[in-house]
Amino acid sequence: MRFLAALFAAAALLSVNLQASGQAGRRAPGFSLPDRNQKQHDLYDYRGKVVVLDIIQTACPACQKFTRISEKLKQKYGERVAILSIVTLPDNLNTVRKFIATFNVTTPVLFDCGQAAASYVQATPDKPNVHMPQLFLIDQNGIIQRHYEHSADTKEVFEGDGSLLMREIDKLLSAARPVKAD
pLDDT for 15: 34
- Look up the pTM and report it: 0.83
Question: Which residue, among 46, 40, 69, 75, has the nearest Cα to 143 in the 3D structure?
Answer: 46
Please count the residues of the chain: 182
Q: Give the pLDDT score at 125.
A: 84
Domains belonging to the chain, first-starting first, are 2-175 (3.40.30.10)
Which whole-number Å values give the CA distances from 112 to 14, 31, 155, in the listed order?
34, 9, 25
Selection from 16-30, 123-137, 158-172 with the highest mean pLDDT: 158-172
So what's the pLDDT on residue 95?
Answer: 97
Residue 17 has pLDDT above 50, yes or no: no
- Are 98 and 108 spatial neighbours (Cβ–Cβ below 8 Å)? no
pLDDT band at 182 (very low <50, low <70, confident <90, very high): low
Given this model, what pLDDT does residue 59 score?
A: 96
SS3 breakdown of the chain: % helix, strand, coil, rounded to 5? 45, 20, 35
